[in-house]
Amino acid sequence: MTPDRVSFRLPTPRGLGYSFNRVGRIGLAVILFWAVVAVFGTWLTPYPVGKIVDSDYFSPMSGSFWMGSDYLGRDMLSRIIMGAHYTVGIALTSVTLACTAGVIFGMIAAVIGGWFDTILSRLLDAFNGIPSLLFGLVVVAAVGSSIPVLVLTLATIYAPGAYRFARALAVNVNTMDFVTVARARGERTPYLILHEILPNILGPVLADLGLRFVFIVLVLSGLSFLGLGVQPPNADWGALVRENIEGLSLGAPAVIFPSIAIASLTISVNMFIDNLPTRIRDRSE
């Protein structure tokens, strides 16, 4: 045991009764970095996002253009910061909508059971049977692409999965004796859901939210890459790759950096979820 090394770190999760390994910490750090960039990005861009500032296009990394310039000669760093705003913003809004709706309905279905559960579950299972990118394509074909449409479409795609996941968890918790005790006490459904079930499924639900966030980032990037996502002059990271795809054969940073941005975000979310802080269960009183 090396307690001195523990006290060396600043706010240790261990102090709160959690252990958290290095891979998970790196993941969390990258996620936080992109979150800060997405929120405060507007004040961080070195050049105006839409302005052509470089005389050359697909120029390499340099002192004035840290990430080179794009196919029109715009500053890539500024555009990636803007891309973070859209990619993280849209994905986060969609995943929050999807998971909130899914989890609430999942818990209600588990607690009430009966016809409500059967019909809702069957219906959403059927909906789950539609490939996600495909559904996005059809909707975009029908209504055209805009940010609210993207958010709602992505949320609709992932809500049934969140419902299914939360319901399965809630059904397990619902069979536990403490829920039966609360029911025998005479408690109503809202109390059962909020106080007995939700706190016990929150951990897995948050992990699931993270995974769904990754999927949404991937589908959003895919749609944008096909030109059906975020529309010019705005661009998310997927759209940035599409715009600059011709720079690929030149090895231009304009196509490499948005790709790295996407990969770093999604990989670190996965890393974080695979290595979540675990509660230290042994009691040493």
Work out which of 225, 235, 254, 277 binds other proteins, going by CB under 8 A: 225
Specify the residue, 166 or 255, whose C-beta has the smaller distance to other proteins. 255
Under rule CB under 8 A, how many of the chain's residues touch other proteins?
67
Min dist. Cβ of residue 237 to other proteins (A): 9
Q: According to the binding rule CB under 8 A, does residue 135 interact with other proteins?
A: yes
Residues numbered 157-176 forming contacts with other proteins, rule: CB under 8 A: 176
Among 36, 123, 194, 206, binds other proteins (CB under 8 A): 123
Q: Is 142 in the site for other proteins (CB under 8 A)?
A: yes
Q: How far is the CB of 60 from other proteins (least distance, A)?
A: 17
DSSP line for the chain: --HHHHHHSSS-GGGGTEE--HHHHHHHHHHHHHHHHHHHGGGT-SS-TT-B--SSSS----SSSTT-B-TTSBBHHHHHHHHHHHHHHHHHHHHHHHHHHHHHHHHHHHHH-HHHHHHHHHHHHHHHTS-HHHHHHHHHHHH---HHHHHHHHHHHHHHHHHHHHHHHHHHHHTSHHHHHHHHHT--HHHIIIIIIHHHHHHHHHHHHHHHHHHHHHHHHHHHHTT-SSPTTS--HHHHHHHTGGGGTTT-HHHHHHHHHHHHHHHHHHHHHHT--EE------
Interface stretch with other proteins, choices 49-57, 88-96, 102-110, 122-130 (CB under 8 A) = 122-130
Whether the link from the prior residue into 233 is cis, omega within 30° of 0, is yes
Q: How far apart are CA 40 and CA 135, in angstroms?
A: 32
Which of residues 15 and 48 has its CB atom nearest to other proteins in the complex?
Answer: 15
Q: Which is nearer to other proteins, 69 or 200 (CB)?
A: 200
245 binds other proteins (CB under 8 A): yes
Per CB under 8 A, the list member of 33, 218, 231, 234 interacting with other proteins is: 218
Is the CB of 50 or the CB of 71 nearer to other proteins? 71
Find the binder of other proteins among 196, 208, 236, 243 (CB under 8 A).
Answer: 196
> Could you tell me if 271 and 23 are in contact, meaning their C-beta atoms sit under 8 angstroms apart?
yes
Nearest to 97 by CA among 5, 163, 18: 163
Q: Check binding of 36 to other proteins (CB under 8 A).
A: no
139 binds other proteins (CB under 8 A): yes
Asked whether position 25 contacts other proteins by CB under 8 A, the answer is no
Is residue 140 a contact residue for other proteins (CB under 8 A)?
yes
CA 283 remoteness from chain centre: 35
Q: Does 184 bind other proteins (CB under 8 A)?
A: yes
Of the candidates 207, 216, 189, 231, the one whose C-alpha atom is nearest the C-alpha of residue 94 is 216
Q: By CB under 8 A, is residue 7 in contact with other proteins? A: no
Instruction: List residues binding other proteins (CB under 8 A).
Output: 1, 14, 19, 122-123, 125-127, 129-135, 137-144, 176-178, 180-187, 195-196, 199-200, 214, 218, 221-222, 225-226, 228, 238, 241, 245, 248-249, 255, 259, 262-263, 266-267, 269-271, 274, 278-284
